[in-house]
Structure 1
Amino acid sequence: MSTKRFYIIGFGALMLFDTLTQVSFKLATTHAGEFTPTTTWLWEVFFNPWIYGAVIGYIGSFITWMTLLKHAPVGPAFAASHLEVVTVLAISVLYFGEHLSAMQVLGALLIVGGIICLSKSEAEHEPPPQETA
């Protein structure tokens, strides 16, 4: 598998797992209601299927992140790992009907722009592939 393809699949999976985690937490808290320090509330959270979506998302993110760190440069990898902020914003608008402020949109654009700049910079400093005879 080519390096570029590995990164696309890896960071795509990381973004999906991170997004699953955040959306699952949102849905779990929505179904559990306002926090009250009672066993009833804890049982409501514990038996909510969305909390398990969040756990699966965390486990998937951890495994994917550790795999990516074996191969990807830390700087661009760390920046790209924050793409879930953009996907969670998009899902919040589409699924939860939330409204974005101009600062949130600007922040999302800056995240994407920063990742593009880092990836181009990293690509320029990559040694050319060596030919094998």
Structure 2
Amino acid sequence: MKRFYIIGFAILLGFDTLAQLSFKYAGDQALPVQANLAWLERVFTQPWVYGAVVGYIGAFFTWMTLLRRAPIGPAFAASHLEVVSVLLLSVPVFGESIGWSQALGAAAIVAGIFCLALSESEDEPG
């Protein structure tokens, strides 16, 4: 069962990260934002928009599958790991930098997920 969770959450993390990075890339390519048909055409001709759609659809189905078996507390917390993965990947992909507050926040997210996972494993019988 642990392998199911690890693989499932890795897939969920991949889909969520794909969606977020794709939206960012597509948004950067569609600038400047304008309320007209030309802007909508620029948005929907970006292949990254479709990467975002694939990411969200994949994440939805993966999440629904995980919720059938995973405890809701750790599952909900682990679903937020994409915040950390997007933060880390934004450095090489978009040339952004990570400040101490972002690093501290990412560490808090990971520590919280770890604590929830430990408490859940202690509650398991046997």
TM bucket (normalised to shorter chain) is over 0.9
**TM-score normalised by L of structure 1:** 0.93
1:60 corresponding residue in structure 2 = 58
Question: In structure 2, which of residues 70, 73, 93 is the aligned counterpart of residue 72 of structure 1?
Answer: 70
Structure 2 CA distance for aligned equivalents of residues 70 and 39 of structure 1: 42
Question: In structure 2, which of residues 12, 25, 28 is the aligned counterpart of residue 27 of structure 1?
Answer: 25
- Which segments of structure 1 move beyond 4 Å, counting only runs of 4 or more? none
Give unpaired runs (5+ residues) of structure 2.
none
1:8 corresponding residue in structure 2 = 6
Secondary structure of 1:99 counterpart: coil
Displacement, 1:119? 0.3
Structure 2 CA distance for aligned equivalents of residues 36 and 103 of structure 1: 33
Structure 2 CA distance for aligned equivalents of residues 109 and 94 of structure 1: 19
Displacement, 1:34? 2.0
Displacement, 1:95? 1.4
Displacement, 1:127? 1.3
Residue 78 (structure 2) pairs with residue 86 (structure 1): no
Displacement, 1:102? 1.0
Question: Of the two, which has the highest radius of gyration?
Answer: 1
RMSD over aligned CA atoms reads 0.6
1:40 corresponding residue in structure 2 = 38
Displacement, 1:101? 1.6
Structure 1 CA distance for aligned equivalents of residues 76 and 45 of structure 2: 33
Residue 120 (structure 2) pairs with residue 122 (structure 1): yes
Residue 88 (structure 2) pairs with residue 100 (structure 1): no
Secondary structure of 1:35 counterpart: coil
Displacement, 1:8? 0.3
State the number of aligned residues. Answer: 126
1:131 corresponding residue in structure 2 = none
Q: Summarize deviations over 1:14-67 as a string: whole Å, max 9, x none.
A: 000000000000110111112100100000101110000000000000000000
